Amino acid sequence: MFTGLVEETGEIVRVEEGPFLRVRIAAKEVLSDLKVGDSVAVDGVCLTAVAVDGEGFWVELAQETRRRTAPTWRVGHRPNLERALKVGERLGGHFVTGHVDGVAEVVAIRETPGALDYYFRPPRELSRYIAEKGSVALNGVSLTVAGLKGDAFFVTLIPHTLRITNLGGLGVGDGVNLEVDLIARYLERLMKGE
């Protein structure tokens, strides 16, 4: 479980193909207490650290993970990183599981006083889970949906968020990992009576 409050952006420094995609990520902040077997959110994807040293860590991705996530698993990409939530710590974002629901596409970026509005088109089957003033995680960043417009939703990103996450580097046409609000998914299931 995560909060969606990014601790740092790392850098993918090596990628190895095989039965699993092995990815080495250079980092600093998350290494302070990260150990083999710990969960870490990498651009919002909950992954297990399979090796850790003083300069970075390795993760392995199954084909299903690669299929469901934005195609950013390449050398040079700077993923948002967050260690798993510890019991007793403050929850400043919202509950983020690290189980990506799909990829949303950036369809527009508009200036607003002191910030930027980023418009995203989610996969059609996920639209019903996105509500104005509800929560979403984009590349692992906990955000409030500022509004809905047609088949898109938008979030307002302040300079701090643009500076400490990789969202500021997005352009129109880019994809991001989208996790819809956990409560919305469970509420729908309860309403169906399944």
Active site residues: 2, 39, 46, 48, 62, 99, 144
**Sheet architecture: strand order including 11-16:** 11-16, 21-26, 56-61, 51-52
Q: Taking the alpha carbons of 61, 64, 65, 70 in that order, is the dihedral positive or negative?
A: positive
For 35-79, strand residue ranges (E) read 39-42, 45-48, 51-52, 56-61
For residue 78, the one-letter residue type is: R
d(CA 12, CA 71): 13
Per-position DSSP letters for 140-164, written without gaps between them: TEEEE--EEETTEEEEEE-HHHHHH
Q: Please choose, from the candidates 81, 147, 88, the residue with its C-alpha nearest in 3D space to the C-alpha of residue 118.
A: 147
d(CA 91, CA 45): 19
Q: Please choose, from the candidates 62, 2, 53, the residue with its C-alpha nearest in 3D space to the C-alpha of residue 28.
A: 53
